[in-house]
Structure 1
Amino acid sequence: MKKLFALLIFAALSLLLAACGNSDEQAAGNDGSKEITIGYFPNINHVAGMVAEEKDMYSETLPEGTKVNYKYFPDGSAFMTAIETGEIEGGLVGPGPAMNHYISGAKINVVAAGSTGGTVIMARKGSDIKNPEDLVGKTFISPGVGCTHDVQFETMMKEEYGVTSKRIGGEMKHVTGKPATYSSMFQAGNVDAATVPEPWASVIEAKGSGKVLVNTPDVAYGNTLPAAVFVTSQDLVKNNPDMVQSIVDAHKKATKFIQENPEEAKTIAIDKIKEITDQDLSKSVIDNAWERINFTYEIDGKTLQDFATSSYELEFLKDKPNLDGLVNTSFIK
């Protein structure tokens, strides 16, 4: 009887160990390979993502056999949800969504920057808007409520001109939409002004549907705020720092490539934006947009904290934010 009982226990343990072995094998792939997904937006501020994909730079820094997938996002909220659910391992997003989700409890880290600059305030042709004060009673568009470009614009309007949106009892109406559609919305007369990430401001200029009202250096945090940050989960940082280092190393390689090979990087950007958005951008549009952006992976936590405070003062956040622990620069040193 005891012998039979021992045999049963042994059989049960064998099945359990076999099941565990099969589960691990499936997670890693039948050939032992790993699989990760990187996300970014079809904006000029995210060219490092495009270059890294085109040049297969993640495969160069990750362990041999790692399969790298890419996912493209229309807005920061969708990107952050993908990070939090593990749909993607990392990628580029605006600092606004990263900051907002962190404050709301998301376990994430900003491990690098992607670029600075690139936000432009545009006025619709025929809107009779000659300066920012003329935006009283007008409708403006941004990619999202409380997104990076929205906060930059509303901070400037409040601090420099005393004009706010109806959301906080002011005079401007706010709507949201994809930046690639802004030029057509201007042409249709649906909105009066836009806070626009490049290259879409240069598209509006090229099509003649609008004009620059406030250029990048004069928008709040215009040349100092990271226009894109590289985000991953705290879980990945804690449990697989080697993977995070490999991912950041590829991002750094892509950024250095942009700095050293701007013309080839522009071609990559034109092709990828066409592939993702079906928008044909001319070389002149990209050249114009490029002048407003600085590509860097260096990240300054203080600038993000100041930006977060501005978001709170605009009532996008209920509580005064504390971003301690959000930025982790150990992977870019």
Structure 2
Amino acid sequence: MSSNPQDSGSVRITAGAQKKRRRGWEIGLAAALAAAIIGTAAWAFGATGSSPSGAGQPAAASGTPAAELRLGYFGNVTHAPALVGVQNGILAGSLEEHGGTKLSTQVFNAGPAAIEALNAGAIDATYIGPNPAINSFVKSGGESVAVIAGATSGGAQLVVRPEISSPGQLKDKVLATPQLGGTQDVALRAYLKSQGLAVNPDGGGDVTINPTENAQTRKLFQDGKLDGAWLPEPWASRLILQAGAKVLVDEKDLWDGSLAGKPGQFTTTVLIVSRKFAAEHPQTVDALLEGHVAAIDWLNSASAADKAAAINAGLKAAAGAELPGNVIDRALQNIEFTPDPLAGTYPKLLQNGVDAGVTKPADLTGLFELGQLNQVLAGVPGHTQVSAAGLGAD
């Protein structure tokens, strides 16, 4: 499915406003472009010494912007930087301005499907949850993808029928997640194991977990075929406000802040790119990151009404329908938009995947390539540098 930026009334970013906002970024971008031209850009992975063992030899930067960037994202509020960046023309404008690159998009339901498309060469970059990115990195020996920025923290909950009041009552129940091996799927399986409930990737165990498309979960819950689901926003809020579910576990309560900047912070969405594409087109990655940061800044500075309107317009284009006001308001209360991928949380995310039986123990060194993001952030007022926490270049 492809989509082009569309007007969204008063919330559309004008070309003049974009140009004014970009002035502060020119120094950082110029540095990044100069590095690419002389062949020393961070995207010639390995030049920083952070490439994982087994990764291929660094490719020389071509110095040529891509003709097209094929970008994946989901129709979730947790993907709001993509929804707004696409709908308001922020991403397309940045790519066009810095190299004349055309933006095309594809919408996915969950991370494993997006990873499959990226590894097959059908897309070049995608917004995605952290666990599918980890899985791809591990399975490829570090050669498939790199995390280049964070997007969203928070916004995932286990919601259940009102009569369920404790984890022990989940035994013999049927729960849903968006897709086997996805971020919410891993979180649910790791949580159930921590509560002494056995679950297996093949579907067996004390709790049945059915991978289910988000759009179908509410109806199955209302029809009595599901007892609950671990979901990203807005789907958790939809089950609560539209189907009578309640929160049993808010994932933010499982993160005490020791691995991130503050209690309750955990990565829900990051921006990743194919290493092959990034090595061939570092200038295009610069432009993507510039637009990505601009979309996050717009979300963090817009009024509540403009933010909701822009996200709803993006959801309608991506998923075919807008959200009621109370649903989007509740969803946004649980989310923080940030370019920081919270790299310090990734060893725990990896361990969660191991505990869930969908990931093998591995060394995550080289997963993050944050050098170009930090160059962009250096030119944008109000931002500080982000860290790879020893798991890559920053």
Matched residue, 1:86 = 121
| 1:328 paired residue among 352, 369, 388 | 369
AA aligned opposite 2:147: V
> Which one of 245, 248, 270 corresponds to residue 312 of structure 2?
270
Q: Please state if 1:110 is matched with 2:147.
A: yes
Instruction: Indicate how the Cα distance of structure 1 residues 54 and 278 shifts in structure 2: closer, same or farther if over 3 A, else same.
Output: closer
How far apart, CA to CA, are the structure 1 residues paired with 2:139 and 2:200?
A: 24
Q: Output aligned runs, 1:197-216, within 5 Å.
A: 197-216=232-251
Q: 1:300 is matched by which residue type in structure 2? A: L
Give the Cα–Cα distance (whole angstroms) in 2 for the partners of residues 265 and 70 of structure 1: 21
- Give the counterpart letter for 2:70 in structure 1: T
Deviation at 1:212, TM superposition (A): 1.4
Q: Look up the match of 1:196.
A: 231
- Give matches, 1:181-330, under 5 Å: 181-219=216-254, 223-263=264-304, 264-317=306-359, 319-330=360-371
Q: Contact (CA 8 Å) 2:255, 2:265: kept in 1 or not? A: no
Q: Distance in 2 between matches of 1:33 and 1:308?
A: 33
Check the 8 A contact 2:66/2:284 in 1, yes or no. Answer: no
Question: Once superposed, what is the RMSD of the aligned Cα atoms?
Answer: 2.1
Letter of the 2:340 partner, please give it: E
In structure 1, the residue corresponding to 2:372 is in which secondary structure? coil
Q: Residues 130 and 107 (structure 1 numbering): CA distance in 2 closer, same or farther, change over 3 Å?
A: same
The normalised TM-score by structure 1 is: 0.84
Equivalent residues of 1:120, 1:219 under 8 A apart: no
1:170: how far off?
Answer: 3.4
TM-score if structure 2 supplies the norm length? Answer: 0.71
CA distance in 2, matches of 1:298, 1:48: 13
AA of the residue aligned to 1:250: G
Q: Structure 1 residue 324: deviation in Å?
A: 1.1
Q: Give the conservation status (yes or no) of the 8 Å contact 1:141–1:194.
A: yes
Asked whether the equivalents of residues 175 and 229 of structure 2 are also in contact (C-alpha less than 8 Å), the reply is yes
Amino acid at match of 1:122: V
SS of residue matched to 2:369: coil
Letter matched to residue 217 of structure 2: Y
Name the SS of the counterpart of 1:72 in structure 2: strand
Establish whether residue 155 from structure 1 lines up as the match of residue 190 from structure 2.
yes
Match of 1:35 in 2: 68
Listed as ranges, the matches of 1:2-21 within 5 Å are none
**More divergent stretch after superposition (114-123 vs 214-223):** 214-223
Structure with the higher fraction of residues in helix conformation: 1
Q: Which runs of 5+ in 2 are unaligned?
A: 1-64, 257-262, 375-394
1:52 corresponds to 2:82: no
- Contact kept in structure 2, 1:156 and 1:219, CA below 8 Å: no
Please, which of 213, 222, 242 is the counterpart of residue 178 of structure 1? Answer: 213
Cα distance in structure 2, aligned partners of 1:284 and 1:163: 34
Identify if the C-alpha distance between structure 1 residues 275 and 240 changes in structure 2 by more than 3 Å, giving closer, same or farther: closer
> Structure 1: 5+ residue runs without aligned partners?
1-31
Distance 1:123 1:220, change over 3 A: farther
Helix, strand or coil: the match of 2:109?
A: coil
Aligned-partner Cα distance in 1 for 2:114–2:134: 13
User: Residues 156 and 232 of structure 2 are in contact (CA less than 8 Å); yes or no, is this contact kept in structure 1?
Assistant: yes
How many residues of Structure 1 are paired with residues of Structure 2 in the alignment?
Answer: 298
Residue type of the alignment partner of 1:155? A
Kindly provide the amino acid, as one letter, of the partner of residue 189 in structure 1: G
Distance 1:262 1:94, change over 3 A: farther
Overall identity of the aligned pairs, in %? 26
